């Protein structure tokens, strides 16, 4: 059924989607995968390469293996908008993080197409609620934990895995799909710790990726004089990535990408792993 529209009376309970991009611009979609689920089964799969009408960065190509040669002669996003909208619009749409939602919205703007109106569900949030004791909730980690086969960074495989994660969460917790769509109640956010007046990180404005800014690492950074900020901005001097492997998995995180863009623009912002920072500052 790849590439075909499904009948209304056989509409899926939800669809899942993943996109890959050619460069730092989130609109540069070069591959999309969409999977439909109904009654616990896969009802259709759709995948295609897309000419992003943009350049391919070596960084992105190293992640997903797609280059300009692969998309030569392929349709652009504007050409495929109707098909993609037909699969997603008006439906519960799952993605592992909201990067895909933002990328599709950006591509719609760049190609002068109507925004795709869907009800979005973040499978990262689902995984965190269903399996809170996992050390990480990255797609490859959750998939391995659940025994889901994954060809990571292939859009169709990633979309399929995100949908299967939601199905497993429904099965294992007994909570229906509607319950996962409900926004959990949130208390007032805890403030970032106050930085010490002295220490090797005095003057540093530090963003943390992978841990809350009021967590243990934030307190240790503050104890060394660093000021923990909520997000990467022009005045941020360091992005600390909490990771147990190279930075590949965060390539689409907005904060990581923003830091890379600032570096390319000449900013002195440093991207460092928590482990590397710990080596430099033994007390952390």
Domains annotated on the chain, with CATH: 8-181 (3.30.420.10), 205-280 (3.40.50.10190)
Q: How far is CA 189 from CA 127, 186, 209, 214, in A?
A: 21, 8, 17, 9
Query: pTM for this structure?
Result: 0.67
Q: Which pLDDT belongs to residue 3? A: 42
Q: Which pLDDT belongs to residue 10? A: 59
Q: What distance in Å separates the CA atoms of residue 212 and residue 100, rounded to the nearest whole number?
A: 22
CA geometry: angle at 16 spanning 12 and 22, to 5°? 145
From first to last of its 284 residues, the chain has per-residue pLDDT tens of 344 443 444 578 999 999 999 998 999 999 999 999 999 999 999 999 999 999 999 999 999 999 999 999 999 999 999 999 999 999 999 999 989 999 999 999 999 999 999 999 999 999 998 998 888 899 999 999 999 999 999 999 999 999 999 999 999 988 899 989 876 655 555 677 898 988 899 999 998 887 777 778 888 888 899 899 888 888 999 998 876 444 544 554 667 778 888 888 888 899 888 888 887 776 55
Q: Which pLDDT belongs to residue 8? A: 40
DSSP character at residue 184: P
SS3 33: strand
Tokens of 24: 């730092």
Q: Which pLDDT belongs to residue 260? A: 84
SS3 127: helix
């Amino acid at each position: 059924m790849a590439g075909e529209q499904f009948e209304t009376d056989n509409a899926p309970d939800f669809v899942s989607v993943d996109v890959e991009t050619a460069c730092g611009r989130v609109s540069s979609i070069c591959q999309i995968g969409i999977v439909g689920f109904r009654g616990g089964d896969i009802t259709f799969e759709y995948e295609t390469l897309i000419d992003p009408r943009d350049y391919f960065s070596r960084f992105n190509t190293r992640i997903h293996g797609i280059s300009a040669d692969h998309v030569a002669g392929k349709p652009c996003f504007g050409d495929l908008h109707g098909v993609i909208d037909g699969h997603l619009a008006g439906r519960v749409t799952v993605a592992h993080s909201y990067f895909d939602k933002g990328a599709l919205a950006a591509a719609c703007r760049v190609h002068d197409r109507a925004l795709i109106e869907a009800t979005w569900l973040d499978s990262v949030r689902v995984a965190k609620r269903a399996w809170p004791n996992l050390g990480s909730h990255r797609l490859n980690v959750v998939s391995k934990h659940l025994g889901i086969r994954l060809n990571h960074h292939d859009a169709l495989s990633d979309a399929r895995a995100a949908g299967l994660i939601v199905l497993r969460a429904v099965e294992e917790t007994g909570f229906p799909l509607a319950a996962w769509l409900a926004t959990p109640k949130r208390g007032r956010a805890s403030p970032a710790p106050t930085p010490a007046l002295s220490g090797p990180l005095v003057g540093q404005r530090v963003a943390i990726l992978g841990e809350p800014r009021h967590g243990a690492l934030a307190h240790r950074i503050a104890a060394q004089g660093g000021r923990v900020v909520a997000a990467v901005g022009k005045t941020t001097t360091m992005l600390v990535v909490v990771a147990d492997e190279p930075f590949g998995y965060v390539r689409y995180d907005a904060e990581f990408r923003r830091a890379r863009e600032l570096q390319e623009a000449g900013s002195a912002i440093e991207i460092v792993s928590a482990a590397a920072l710990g080596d430099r500052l033994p007390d952390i």
